[in-house]
């Protein structure tokens, strides 16, 4: 009966059948080579079999290994927690316990050369994907609100970062996450702490700090999963792993690389003494610039005030007032002269008119009359033109003679 044969509540399989069929399928896999990291070794004195835990460094997945105690004891150097190995074995399902393990017949330690070669291959892969591109690196904030620190518990790296940062800026605040920085549990713990700090809005920068160590000790910081997690962080990340010669892959992925944890403590915050001095210098420059500007404007005002038009602003007005007075007097004199001349002319004309007018003639005893005869027209131009003994009638109105006619009574 195949493993995938349908069952029903009326016809269920017994446990032994299921276990046997699982064992048959697993036995078909055959022998395989598996690489991983040793996380636990159980080797009892005098026991013929050793039990080990093999973990995937890039994922939270582990597998139980069973190997002969002699093979484990023969390893040189001896296996320890965190050792990277390649094992050859056959997956085995133990029906009685219902457990799966890898029965190992050969264990090979991964040498430094092989580790370095793998790191180099991963370096090229990440570089080809653009994770090392300087254009994607973000600048650090000038003065972070809070600094996230991922480091070992009570480690020298933690002390260096905290001490140097607080010496430079005493008010700096830290959000510290203590994790394993080497061994099989380092990568999962660092990933968890990194994700937690990246989710905190008050954390403006994250520092990964660890002291120096061997290539094997620093392997977690060349892990592919950790490198990709650092690249995916929204918060700027500072890598301070090991010493100057050490260069794990996370250094190339991080936004800023510091050669030591001490350098990271100095990099994430400004120096309060330097900033205070810079403020004083800028204040002095501003004061000198302002004083210089005020002095230039004062000299300009002094130069403007020294000009004649501003030195004696009433003088030109007084000069113009005098000119206006002179012109006004000249206009008055000219007008008076014209009026006087015209008045004299008018007086002379009036005198002539008075002298030549009828009233003056009458006043002297003369008259201008008009003679009108019956049936004939005649004009008496003067009294002398009337025949002697002619009686005339004169009509005078408003002081003027209007008509002189013969008196018909005569």
Supply the range of the domain harboring residue 284. 273-306
> What are the tokens at 166?
């607080």
Direct distance between the N- and C-terminal alpha carbons of the chain, in angstroms, rounded to an integer: 190
HSE, CB side, 13 Å, CA atoms: give it for residue 221. 32
The residues that bridge with 106 in the sheet, in sequence order, are 88
Residue 261's domain is classified under what CATH number?
3.40.50.261
Residue 84 sits in the same domain as residue 163? no
Q: Is residue 4 part of a domain?
A: no
Residue 23's domain is classified under what CATH number?
2.40.50.140
Residue 131 sits in the same domain as residue 228? yes
Residue 401 in contact with residue 388, Cβ under 8 Å?
no
- Residue count of the chain: 410
Residue 165 sits in the same domain as residue 250? yes
The residues that bridge with 62 in the sheet, in sequence order, are 55
Query: What's the pTM value of the predicted model, to 2 decimals?
Result: 0.55
Residue 236 sits in the same domain as residue 317? no
pLDDT in tens, the chain (410 residues): 455 556 777 788 888 888 888 888 888 888 888 888 888 888 888 888 898 888 887 667 888 898 988 888 888 778 888 778 888 898 988 888 888 888 988 888 776 667 777 788 888 999 999 999 999 999 999 999 999 999 998 889 999 999 999 999 999 999 999 999 887 788 889 999 999 999 999 999 999 999 887 777 788 888 899 999 999 999 999 999 987 777 889 999 999 999 899 999 999 999 999 999 999 999 999 999 999 999 999 999 888 888 877 777 787 888 889 999 999 999 999 999 999 999 999 999 988 888 777 776 666 666 555 555 554 444 444 545 556 555 555 555 555 554 555 544 44
> What are the tokens at 32?
């395989």
Residue 122 sits in the same domain as residue 262? yes
Q: Is residue 9 part of a domain?
A: no
The residues that bridge with 373 in the sheet, in sequence order, are 376
Residue 260 sits in the same domain as residue 120? yes
Compute the radius of gyration of the chain from its Cα atoms: 64
Residue 239, φ and ψ in degrees, nearest 5: -100, 125
Residue 160 sits in the same domain as residue 199? yes
Residue 177 in contact with residue 152, Cβ under 8 Å?
no
Total domains in the chain come to 5
Q: Taking Cα atoms as reference points, which of 18, 95, 23, 33 lies closest to residue 65?
A: 33
Residue 385 in contact with residue 366, Cβ under 8 Å?
no
> What are the tokens at 365?
């005893």
């Amino acid at each position: 009966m195949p493993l995938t044969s349908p069952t029903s509540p009326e016809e269920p399989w017994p446990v032994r059948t299921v276990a046997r069929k699982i064992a048959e399928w697993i036995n078909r896999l055959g022998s395989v080579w598996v690489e991983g990291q040793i996380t636990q070794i159980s080797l009892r004195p005098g026991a013929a079999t050793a039990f080990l835990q093999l973990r995937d460094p890039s994922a939270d997945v582990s597998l139980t290994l069973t190997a002969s105690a002699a093979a484990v004891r023969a390893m040189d150097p001896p296996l320890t927690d965190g050792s990277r190995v390649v094992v050859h074995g056959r997956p085995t399902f133990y029906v009685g316990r219902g457990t799966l393990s890898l029965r190992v017949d050969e264990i090979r330690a991964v040498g430094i050369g092989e580790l370095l070669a793998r790191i180099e291959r991963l370096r090229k892969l990440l570089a080809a994907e653009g994770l090392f591109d300087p254009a994607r690196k973000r600048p650090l904030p000038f003065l972070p609100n809070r600094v996230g620190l991922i480091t070992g518990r009570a480690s020298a790296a933690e002390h260096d970062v905290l001490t140097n940062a607080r010496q430079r800026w005493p008010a700096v605040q830290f959000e510290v996450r203590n994790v394993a920085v080497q061994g099989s549990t380092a990568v999962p713990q660092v990933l968890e702490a990194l994700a937690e700090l990246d989710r905190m809005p008050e954390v403006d920068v994250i520092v990964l700090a660890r002291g120096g160590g061997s290539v094997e000790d620093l392997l977690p910081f060349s892990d592919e999963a950790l490198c990709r997690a650092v690249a995916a962080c929204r918060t700027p990340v500072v890598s301070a792993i090991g010493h100057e010669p050490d260069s794990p892959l996370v250094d190339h992925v991080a936004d800023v690389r510091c050669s030591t944890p001490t350098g990271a403590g100095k990099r994430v915050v400004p120096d309060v003494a330097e900033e205070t001095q810079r403020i004083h210098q800028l204040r002095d420059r501003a004061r000198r610039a302002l004083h210089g500007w005020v002095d230039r404007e004062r000299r300009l005002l002094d130069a403007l005030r020294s000009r004649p038009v501003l030195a004696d602003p009433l003088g030109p007005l007084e000069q113009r007032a005098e000119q206006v007075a002179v012109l006004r007097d000249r206009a008055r004199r000219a007008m008076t002269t014209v009026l006087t001349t015209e008045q004299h002319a008018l007086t002379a004309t009036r005198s002539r008119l008075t002298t030549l007018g009828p009233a003056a003639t009458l006043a002297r005893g003369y008259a201008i009359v008009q003679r009108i005869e019956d049936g004939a027209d005649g004009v008496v131009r003067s009294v002398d033109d009337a025949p002697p003994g002619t009686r005339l009638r004169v009509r005078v109105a408003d002081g003027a003679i209007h008509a002189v006619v013969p008196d018909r009574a005569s």
